[in-house]
Amino acid sequence: MSADTTSINRTLHRFHDQEQLWLFGYGSLIWKADFEFIERRPARIRGWSRRFWQGSHDHRGTAAAPGRVVTLVADPGAQCSGMAYLITPAVFDHLDLREKNGYLREVVPIEFCAGGASEGLIYIAGPDNEAFLGDAPDAAIARQIARARGPSGLNRDYLLQLADALRAMGEEDPHVFAIEHELLALGPLTQQ
Ligand code: BEZ
């Protein structure tokens, strides 16, 4: 599959009949809401784990030196915390472009941390997209992140902002925190 998923997402879900819908953010959407929203709520989804397994050529890296950003992998029994945003369908005009590098929208059940639930959308970059990198040792992922930068900034800032945002929400994510730990152990060495 081509890494540019913009047109696929626009064909998949049109939302003509809905004035508002929930979007669940588990990565940069937790702290970078550069779109209008009606309301936001801490939330979780079940059966998915957040992983730094997606390559970033367009935001936190380049084609020559891709960074790593998060996607979700199916993981029965797991849960992934994040932030749910109540938005209008028009917001997808912006988000489909912002998240075009391999991410497809999918409908999932969302549970709000304060109670209640709703269906909503997530963006997932699966193993069949060209930018998918997959698993690697935490230290290797941290080294790649430490060296990468792209039009949206340093890859290390993406990781540190995600870890900080999760801590601020009182959430644990052993994968994210382990890579953060490895990155910080590298020191300030590695910007090219
Ligand atoms: C998210 O925060 O949910 C997200 C951000 C970028 C791409 C896909 C998902």
**39-56 vs 21-25, strand pairing mode:** unpaired
In-domain check, residue 158? yes
Q: What is the CATH number of the domain that holds 48?
A: 3.10.490.10
Residues near 143 by Cβ (< 8 Å), separated by ≥ 6? 182, 186, 190
The answer to whether residue 119 is catalytic is: no
Per the residue annotation, which of 19, 36, 39, 99 is the catalytic one?
99
Which pair of structure tokens corresponds to residue 66? Answer: 């891709």
Residue nearest to atom 2 of ligand 1 (CA): 27
Pairing of strands 149-150, 117-124: unpaired
For the stretch 110-143, pLDDT in tens is: 999 999 999 999 999 999 999 999 999 999 999 9
Q: Is residue 181 part of a domain?
A: yes
Residue 191 lies in a domain: no
Model confidence over 49-72: pLDDT tens digits?
999 999 999 899 999 999 999 999
Give the pocket of ligand 1 (CB within 6 Å). Answer: 25-30, 99, 103, 123
By alpha-carbon position, which residue is closest to atom 8 of ligand 1? 123
How many separate domains does the chain show?
1
The preferred substitution site among 69, 80, 92, 124 for testing ligand 1, maximizing ligand atoms within 8 Å of CB, is: 69
